[in-house]
Structure 1
Amino acid sequence: MQPVSMLLNILWILCGGAYMAFGWLIAAVVMAITVIGLPWARAAFNIAAYTLLPFGSRAVRRDELTGMDDVGTGLLGFIGNIVWFLLAGWWLALGHLITAVVLAVTIIGIPFAWAHLKLAGLALWPIGKTIVPA
């Protein structure tokens, strides 16, 4: 990890990254406990780690990365994203949005607010995405 990314990640944890990563972790655990939610639990665990340390990584569509369609990028992925949105996506996105608004009030918080807005979009539609180094 680059020194700048490391510094930004430390500041990020202090500016809302820790509790939002905890929110993603709670969503992942709830999905895993329900057994029916197991397909969504893995994505939520991966994004929880990404939410904790987002600088130096980015979320991309798997079909754009590999050049091939898979289950998560096709029709089943679309249906999975709709189910995810109804079960957990909207409240995770709302948490990121509220945190972004609070951070945007301060000058130093604007870059972190922008990162929270990106994560809010990911919270709405995470299936079919993967986390890669930037």
Structure 2
Amino acid sequence: MSVLGNLIWFIFCGFWQGLSWLLAGLFWCVTIIGIPFGLQCFKLAGLMFFPFGKEVIYGGGTMSLIANIFWIIFSGIPLALWALVNGLVLCLTIIGIPFGLQCFKFASLALMPFGTTVQKKTR
């Protein structure tokens, strides 16, 4: 079932959200200081492309908090707004509501991505 969900997701909004995270990662990797931010963007781009069958584990500490503060200022707000707009558009139809709700989860993740890990779901 996750393969079908990932396929539908990728067609309707996953491609654009994943592409935006890849572009953000490329911009962050321009400087040496931004490379850790860019690597996090690349990790979450994979999640944005194919989110079904994966789960996000939240954690972190002081360094994650500091990184999230810089992140919100420079990249978090535009990516969160992009996910929010995608979610609102998808919620216009009954079939798109589950995917729109997924976009809203990604909008909150776009604001505070550091301290998270992505892993396959275990049953």
TM-score bracket for this pair, using the shorter chain length: over 0.9
Letter in 1 for 2:104: L
C-alpha displacement of 1:35: 2.1
Query: What does residue 70 of structure 1 align with?
Result: none
Query: What does residue 117 of structure 2 align with?
Result: 130
Q: TM-score, normalised by structure 1?
A: 0.88
Q: Pick the aligned partner of 2:37 from 33, 37, 40.
A: 40
Query: What does residue 67 of structure 1 align with?
Result: none
C-alpha displacement of 1:131: 0.2
Letter in 2 for 1:31: W
CA-atom RMSD, angstroms? 0.8
Query: What does residue 75 of structure 2 align with?
Result: 88
CA distance in 1: counterparts of 2:119 and 2:78, whole angstroms: 25
Query: What does residue 108 of structure 2 align with?
Result: 121
Query: What does residue 15 of structure 2 align with?
Result: 18
Identity, % of aligned pairs? 36
Where 2:29 maps in the other structure, the secondary structure is helix
Larger displacement relative to structure 2 (12-21 or 34-43): 34-43
Once the two structures are superposed, residues 33-90 of structure 1 have per-residue CA deviations (whole angstroms, 9 ceiling, x without a partner) of 122211211111000000000000011124xxxxxxxxxx121210100100111011
Once the two structures are superposed, residues 76-111 of structure 1 have per-residue CA deviations (whole angstroms, 9 ceiling, x without a partner) of 210100100111011000000000000000011001
Show structure 1 runs of 5+ residues with no match: 63-72
Letter in 1 for 2:95: I
